[in-house]
Amino acid sequence: MAELIDGKRISSEIKDELKQKVAELKAQGVTGALAVIQVGNDPASSVYVRNKKRACEYIGIESLSYELPEETTEDELIALIEKLNADDKVNGILVQLPVPAHINEDKIIGAISPAKDVDGFHPMNVGALTIGREGFVSCTPAGIIQLLKRSGIEIAGKNCVVVGRSNIVGKPMALLMLRENATVTITHSKTKDLREVCKTADILIVAIGKKEFIDASYVKEGATVIDVGIHRDENNKLSGDVKFDEVEPHCHAITPVPGGVGPMTIAMLMSNCVEAMERSR
C-alpha cells in the first residue's frame, strides 16, 4: 500500500510552528496584518477568504477585510491597493481571484507592492523565483514542496513531470522542483504522448483541472503522485485529477483529495505573511 501524504496533518504542523514564530515576533514588538480584498460575492471565493481570515486569527496576525461590491471599478480597486501599499501597519495584501470580468487581473496583481505580495503572483516575485533570488513563492506549489520534504521524499536527481502550465501552479511548481535539483518536464494540452512522458516520472504532479484524468496507465510503479485537482460531484463528494483508487496501489506515496494539497495553500500563505513580518522588522 502506498504511503498517504497527509496534508491536513502537515498543514497543522506548519500553522503551529508559525503561531509560535508570530508570538516570538510579537514579543519583539513586530506585528502582522494581512489585508484581504474580495470584489463581488462569488460563493467559492467567500469560503476561501473566510478560511484565510480564520488562519490569520489562529496564528495570531490581524486580518483586515475589504469586501467590495461587484461594480467596483479597476481604478477604485487600484486606489485601495495603493493606500494599503503605503500603510506600514499592513505587511501582506491579497486580492482574491478571480476578479469580475471588467477588472484586468494582471493590472491588479501588478499594483500590489512586491514586498507585500504574499500570494507570490507579482511578476517581480515570479522573476525572482526564476533566477533563484529571494521573493514570495506561490502558495500551492510551495506547499507541495513542504509535503514532499516533510514526508521524507527525496527530490534531488529525481525525474519530475508537472502536468499543467498555469501561472499559479504548473509554472512555479516546475521552477521550485528545479530549485530542488529535480530533472523537470512540464507537460500541457499539446504534449505528444502524455501517457509515456508521465510514465517517466519518479514524482508526478498533476494540476490540469480534469476530474480523474490520470489513471494507472500514466503512472510508473513506485512513483510519488501529487494531485492538485479538486472537483465536487452532484453528491458533494470531492475527487481530484487522479483516479485515486486505481493509481494508489502502484505508488510509493500519494496525496488524497480532500486532505492532500488543499490544506497546504493557506498554510503557505500564512508562512509568506510571517516572512513579510520578519522582513519588515
Footprint on this chain of ligand GUN (rule: CB under 6 A)? 94-97, 119, 139, 265
Closer residue to ligand GUN (CB): 99 or 163: 99
Which of 57, 17, 19, 15 lies closest to 36 in space, CA to CA?
A: 57
Least separation, in Å, of the C-beta of 228 and ligand GUN?
11
Helix (H, G, I), strand (E, B) or coil at 68: strand
CB of 186 to ligand GUN, least distance (A): 20
For residue 270, give the nearest of 2, 21, 6 by alpha carbon: 21
Query: Which residues are annotated as catalytic?
Result: 52, 96, 119
Smallest distance, Å, CB 52 to ligand GUN?
Answer: 8
Distance in Å, CB of 46 to ligand GUN, minimum? 12
Q: Which residue is nearest to ligand GUN (CB)?
A: 97
Is the Cβ of residue 197 or residue 207 nearer to ligand GUN in the bound state? 207
DSSP secondary structure string for all residues of 140-170 = HHHHHHHHHHHTT---TT-EEEEE---TTTH
Q: Residue 65 or residue 159: which is nearer to ligand GUN going by CB?
A: 65
Of the pair 7, 224, the CB lying nearest ligand GUN is at: 7
CA-to-CA distance for 78 and 247, rounded, in angstroms?
Answer: 46
Separation CA 238–CA 229 (nearest Å): 10
